[in-house]
């Protein structure tokens, strides 16, 4: 049903092991299989596994690209990059900003997505319009144009303050330029793009068989009871799926942070997202060694979050199989 | 280099959805339904207002944009589009054309390489298939930053900086595993009888792939093409690091030029070109809605 479910099945099968059938009969398409996969294998080797190994190596070197394409040969320095990185308060600031962003924006975005998906009944009037209206921002939300728009929405004389002005609030700050609020404007931008998880929730809701509801209704279960005993438990795999993916994506947020802050991560580094800091380390300061170390730390952090998610899912995700 | 991969999975979930039950009849009182619609219309307005404001502002004279924040105005002009088109180093049409070349190249690459891989994973039985399939799925979750710097160095060594090649060639090597997965799910849902019949008629795998699978999986190919277009068109990071020459910029990076020249900024022109950069996305959204939102459960084979 989902890639996560798929992985789970593969893991379970692998654990089971079992007798191996005759290879000639079991694998009649060995040659064709590998031929069809040739482009993918080339990509995996040249752009996947190879670069991963190289990046791990580079993270242990002093690799300063002064003026591309002129490159100094990498200089092996063991864990110096990591040590320097961990001693840099700017690094921890970028890490904190990003984790804060992930922990606030992902649950809020998913809550909106789920709430709106629940409001949209199949066969209701205007369904196509609502669905499109909610989905459109998530299609455009990653673009530079929308980030530019966002700078104006939350500027001192922007739409947001204009809106508050109708309710008598005046003399409001420019939110984008204020260190306490700039991150929040990007969080709002993220919530605004709740359309794509919403569409996944809609698909999930549609897979819940009507007979469950009919049976529960016959047993005298009320609306609330049906919601908490049928809808939510059967939707947990989808919630889990959205949660895992959105956390991974949110950690990699770049464009919004770049454009909203004009590439600086300001004001006062309040929007210095991890990926923006990584970009500046590698491509503005030409320190590719440290940037590689940062990439690996990001991989580990995302891995830890994902692993925790999988572990924790045992306590709340319900599989109907 | 996509961070918004979820929609493809949405479509996948819809395709593989099994329990397409009967419609639930809404039995609510009309009052409740009215309240719901008011709520939904309110949310729709909140969602769309900034976008509508952007479009309207792009049509207002520069000094009007911030004086009046409402979207109702009679004072419309195309002036911003004319000035914005020529405001940057090159006419904006060049940037849009660059975006188009990169996007079309990426689409062709993804369609060819991902469909080949998907056919192998879905229809062929070969040693190590499950292992490679798991590797591919893990690749979906791997943050691209980990391979970013060596990839950059590779393309730099090849002398590909300042060309579209680093943005297009990886697509021919099936690096967007999401689409492989989407297509695998689709091919698996095709009835096996078709393939068995073709096999009896003596068709090889190349024939079964080209003459049977590809025509049947057009909905999955269309979904891939649409999402590849949207993501490539909207990609900012890739072009930002690989392209230096302003004449090579796609629209996304060119727009940045308006922000860099912040102080003396011509807001009207910036908004006008923002709209110009969003327009192709919006058109693809309208044309591709069927694939983007409704999924293609019913458009497959009957």
Residue B224 pLDDT greater than 90, yes or no: yes
Binning pLDDT at 50, 70 and 90, where does residue B164 land?
A: very high
Residue A77 has a pLDDT of: 85
Residue B28 has a pLDDT of: 53
- Domain span at residue B213 reads 90-299
Arithmetic mean of pLDDT, A242-256 = 93
Residue B21 pLDDT greater than 50, yes or no: no
- The pLDDT tens digits of the residues spanning A73-107 come to 777 888 999 999 999 999 999 999 999 999 999 99
For domain A82-315, which architecture applies? Orthogonal Bundle (1.10)
The residue with greater pLDDT, B289 or A154, is A154
Please report the ipTM that was assigned to this predicted complex.
0.87
Report the CATH number at residue B209: 1.10.3720.10
For chain A, what is the HEC assignment?
Answer: CCHHHHHHHHHHHHHHCCCCCCHHHHCCCHHHHHHHCHHHHHHHHHHHHHHHHHHHHHCCEECECCECCECCCCEECCCHHHHHHHHCHHHHHHHHHHHHHHHHHHHHHHHHHHHHHHHCCCCCCCHHHHHHHHHHHHHHCCCHHHHHHHHHHCCCCCHHHHHHHHCCCCCCCCHHHCCCCHHHHHHHHHHHCCHHHHHHHHHHHHCCCHHHHHHHHHCCCCHHHHHHHHHHHHHHHHHHHHHHHHHHHHHCCCHHHHHHCCCCCCCCCCCCCHHHHHHHHHHHCCEHHHHHHHHHHHHHHHHHHHHHHHHHHCCCCCCCC
Arithmetic mean of pLDDT, A189-196 = 94
Report how far apart, in Å, the C-alpha atoms of B18 and of each of A226, A241, A249, A318, B178 are.
21, 18, 28, 18, 21
Residue B61 has a pLDDT of: 87
Asked if residue B271 is part of any domain, the answer here is yes
Strand partners, A268: none
- The pLDDT tens digits of the residues spanning A100-135 come to 999 999 999 999 999 999 999 777 888 889 999 999
Arithmetic mean of pLDDT, B181-188 = 90
Q: Over chain A, what is the mean pLDDT?
A: 87
The residue with greater pLDDT, A287 or B102, is B102
Residue A212 pLDDT greater than 50, yes or no: yes
Residue B301 has a pLDDT of: 26
Asked if residue B21 is part of any domain, the answer here is no
Please report the residues numbered 175 through 194 in chain A whose beta carbons come closer than 8 angstroms to any beta carbon of chain B: 192-193
pTM, entire model: 0.87
- Interface residue A252 vs chain B (CB under 8 A): yes
Q: Over chain B, what is the mean pLDDT?
A: 84
Tell me the HSE value of B90 on the side-chain side, using a 13 A CA sphere.
16
Asked if residue B44 is part of any domain, the answer here is no
- Interface residue A29 vs chain B (CB under 8 A): yes
Residue B257 has a pLDDT of: 87
Asked if residue B258 is part of any domain, the answer here is yes
Whether B174 sits inside 8 A of A43 (CB atoms) is: yes
Asked if residue B55 is part of any domain, the answer here is no
- Interface residue A130 vs chain B (CB under 8 A): yes
- Interface residue B17 vs chain A (CB under 8 A): yes
Cα–Cα distance between B17 and A194 in angstroms, integer? 22
Whether A143 sits inside 8 A of B252 (CB atoms) is: yes
| Count of A-B CB contacts under 8 Å | 322
Asked if residue B250 is part of any domain, the answer here is yes
Specify the domain boundaries for CATH 1.10.3720.10 within chain A: 82-315
Residue A230 pLDDT greater than 70, yes or no: yes
Asked if residue B152 is part of any domain, the answer here is yes
Residue A3 has a pLDDT of: 57
Binning pLDDT at 50, 70 and 90, where does residue B302 land?
A: very low
Whether A27 sits inside 8 A of B127 (CB atoms) is: yes
- The pLDDT tens digits of the residues spanning B248-278 come to 999 999 998 888 765 556 888 999 999 999 9
Whether A162 sits inside 8 A of B134 (CB atoms) is: no
Least confident of B14-28, B102-116, B140-154: B14-28
Residue A263 has a pLDDT of: 86
Q: Which of A6-10, A251-255, B184-188 has the highest mean pLDDT?
A: A251-255
What is the number of other CB atoms lying within 10 angstroms of the CB of residue B37? 15
Residue B294 has a pLDDT of: 52
- Interface residue A216 vs chain B (CB under 8 A): no
- In chain B, residues with a C-beta closer than 8 Å to the C-beta of A243 are none
- Interface residue B162 vs chain A (CB under 8 A): no
Residue B20 pLDDT greater than 70, yes or no: no
Asked if residue B264 is part of any domain, the answer here is yes
Number of domains in chain B: 1
């Amino acid at each position: 049903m989902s890639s996560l479910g798929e992985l789970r099945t593969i893991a379970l099968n692998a654990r089971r092991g079992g007798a191996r059938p005759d290879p000639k009969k079991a694998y009649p398409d060995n040659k064709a299989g590998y031929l069809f996969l040739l482009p993918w294998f080339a990509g995996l080797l040249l752009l996947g596994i190879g670069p991963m190994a190289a990046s791990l190596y580079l993270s242990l070197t002093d690799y300063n690209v002064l003026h591309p394409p002129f490159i100094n040969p990498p200089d092996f320095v063991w864990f110096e990059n990591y040590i320097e990185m961990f001693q840099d308060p700017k690094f921890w600031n970028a890490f904190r900003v990003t984790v804060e962003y992930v922990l606030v924006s992902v649950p809020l975005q998913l809550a909106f997505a789920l709430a709106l998906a629940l409001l949209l009944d199949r066969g209701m009037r205007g369904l196509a319009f609502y669905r499109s209206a909610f989905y459109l921002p998530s299609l455009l939300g990653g673009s530079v144009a929308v980030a530019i728009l966002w700078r104006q929405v939350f500027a001192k004389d922007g739409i947001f303050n204009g809106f508050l002005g109708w309710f008598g609030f005046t003399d409001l700050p420019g939110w984008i330029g204020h260190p306490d609020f700039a991150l929040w404007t990007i969080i709002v931008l993220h919530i605004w793009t709740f359309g794509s998880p919403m569409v996944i929730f809609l698909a999930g809701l549609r897979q819940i068989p009507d007979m469950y509801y009919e049976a529960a209704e016959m047993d005298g279960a009320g609306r609330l009871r049906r919601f908490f005993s049928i809808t939510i438990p059967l939707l947990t795999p989808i919630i889990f799926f959205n949660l895992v993916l959105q956390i991974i994506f949110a950690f990699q947020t770049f464009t919004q942070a770049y454009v909203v802050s004009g590439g600086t991560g300001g004001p006062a580094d309040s929007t210095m997202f991890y990926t923006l800091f990584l970009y500046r380390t590698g491509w503005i300061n030409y320190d590719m060694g440290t940037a590689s170390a940062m990439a690996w730390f990001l991989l580990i952090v995302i891995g830890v979050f994902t692993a925790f998610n999988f572990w924790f899912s045992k306590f709340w995700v319900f599989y109907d199989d | 280099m996509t961070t918004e991969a979820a929609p493809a999975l949405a479509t996948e979930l819809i395709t593989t959805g099994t329990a397409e039950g009967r419609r639930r009849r809404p039995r609510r009182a009309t009052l409740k339904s009215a309240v719901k619609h008011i709520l939904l219309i309110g949310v729709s307005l909140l969602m769309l207002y900034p976008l509508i404001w952007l479009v309207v502002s792009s049509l207002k004279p520069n000094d009007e944009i911030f004086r009046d924040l409402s979207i109702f105005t009679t004072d419309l002009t195309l002036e911003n589009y004319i000035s914005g088109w020529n405001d940057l180093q090159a006419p904006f049409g060049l940037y849009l054309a660059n975006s188009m070349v990169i996007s079309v190249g990426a689409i062709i690459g993804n369609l060819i390489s991902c469909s080949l891989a998907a056919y192998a994973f879905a229809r062929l039985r070969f040693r190590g298939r499950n292992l490679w399939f798991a590797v591919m799925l893990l690749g979906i979750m791997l943050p691209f930053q980990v391979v970013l710097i060596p990839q950059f160095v590779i393309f730099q060594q090849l002398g590909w900086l300042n060309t579209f090649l680093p943005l297009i060639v990886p697509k021919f090597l099936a690096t967007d595993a999401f689409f492989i997965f989407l297509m695998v799910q689709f091919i698996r849902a095709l009835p096996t009888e078709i393939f068995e019949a073709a096999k009896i008629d003596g068709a090889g795998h190349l024939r079964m792939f080209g003459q049977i699978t590809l025509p049947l999986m057009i909905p999955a190919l269309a979904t891939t093409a649409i999402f590849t277009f949207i993501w490539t068109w909207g990609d900012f990071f890739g072009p930002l690091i690989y392209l230096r020459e302003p004449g090579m910029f796609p629209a996304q990076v060119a727009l940045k030029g308006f922000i860099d020249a912040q102080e003396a900024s011509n807001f009207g022109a910036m908004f006008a070109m923002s709209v110009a950069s969003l327009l192709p996305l919006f058109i693809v959204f309208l044309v591709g809605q069927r694939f983007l939102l409704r999924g293609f459960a019913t458009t497959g084979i009957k």
